[in-house]
Homo-oligomer: A and B are copies of this chain.
Amino acid sequence: METKQISKAVIKRLPRYYRYLGELMEDNVERISSNELSKKMHTTASQIRQDLNNFGGFGQQGYGYNVHYLYTEIGKILGLDTVHPMIILGAGNLGQALANYVDFEKRGFKLVGIFDVNPVLEGIAVRGLEIQMLSELPFFLRENNVEIAILTLPKNKAKEMADILVENGIKAIWNFAHLDLETPDDVIVENVHLSESLMTLSYNLSKYRQEHVE
């Protein structure tokens, strides 16, 4: 349907615009020009205008952008105007940390289930939800409407569970496991590879050290 393909780079920047606009709203700023915003965000006004115009003309010549309007529109583009039921697979520290992120629910990401393999955890409540056994997952998926699955399981288990998720019609996986999931094209996977992020940091640190040896 949509033919105009929007680049990944643009999409990755949208949530950051959204965050800055939210802060401007908190500061009761009513309007902002691409130039002012570019200074705040350490980017170029040109990029901001180009990015936004992928989705429509949200501004007004001679005026700039209405902060509240732009915030709402970017929210819609990001799909934050609808509820996304989600489940967490893996109730370890990371899974529990994500379960307790208050901001998520505020943005429409509603946690409806949390699962683990460890029988010791069964029935323990996290954010008002009792931890269920992973073996109950297929049944749960058939009985409930779930959009997003968060994978905070170890590598092997994650791979296995990804297959089960796909079989049961899950269309989006937020993957924290250290592997690249092999899923059909119509399943959206967003990876968070924490160790890779830390290695990037380490690279920059090492490079800096090398360049500044006395």
| Residue from the list B80, B203, B205, B211 in contact with A202, Cβ < 8 A | B80
Is A204 an interface residue, CB under 8 A from the partner? yes
* Residues of chain B lying within 8 A (CB to CB) of residue A163: none
A1: chain B residues within 8 A (beta carbon)? 210-211, 213
Residue pair A186, B208 in contact (C-beta under 8 Å): yes
- Determine the distance from Cα of A98 to Cα of B205 in the docked complex, in whole angstroms: 20
> What band does the interface of chain A fall in when counting residues whose beta carbon is under 8 Å from B?
35 or more
Q: Do the beta carbons of B199 and A80 come within 8 Å of each other?
A: yes
Could you say which of B15, B19, B93 contacts A96, with CB atoms under 8 Å apart?
B93
With A196-B15, A208-B186 known to touch, is A203 a contact of B77 (CB < 8 Å)?
yes
- Taken together, the copies of this chain in the complex come to 2
- Closest residue of chain B to A82, judged by CB? B206
**Residue A192 interfacial (CB < 8 Å):** yes
- Say whether A171 faces chain B, with CB atoms less than 8 Å apart: yes
Quick check: is A129 within 8 A (CB to CB) of the other chain?
A: no
Compute how far the CA of A84 lies from the CA of B209 in the bound complex, rounded to whole angstroms. Answer: 12
Are A203 and B93 closer than 8 Å at their CB atoms?
Answer: no
Whether A192 lies near B190 (C-beta < 8 A) is no
In whole angstroms, what is the CA distance A105 to B80 when docked? 38
Once A84-B202, A190-B201 are accepted as A-B contacts, the answer to whether A171 and B11 lie under 8 Å apart by CB is no
Complex: A108 Cα to B180 Cα, angstroms: 24
Give 5 new A-B contacts, CB below 8 A, not counting A82-B206, A109-B198, A188-B204: A2-B210, A42-B180, A93-B94, A174-B197, A190-B201
Can you name 13 A-B residue pairings with CB atoms under 8 Å? A2-B207, A12-B196, A14-B199, A78-B202, A79-B203, A79-B205, A94-B97, A107-B199, A148-B201, A174-B197, A174-B198, A186-B208, A188-B208
Sorted nearest first, the 3 A-B pairs with minimum C-beta distance are A79-B206, A93-B97, A15-B196
A residues apposed to B, CB below 8 Å: 1-2, 11-12, 14-16, 18-19, 42, 77-80, 82, 84, 92-94, 96-98, 100-101, 103-104, 107-109, 147-148, 171-172, 174, 178, 180, 186, 188, 190, 192-208, 210-211, 213
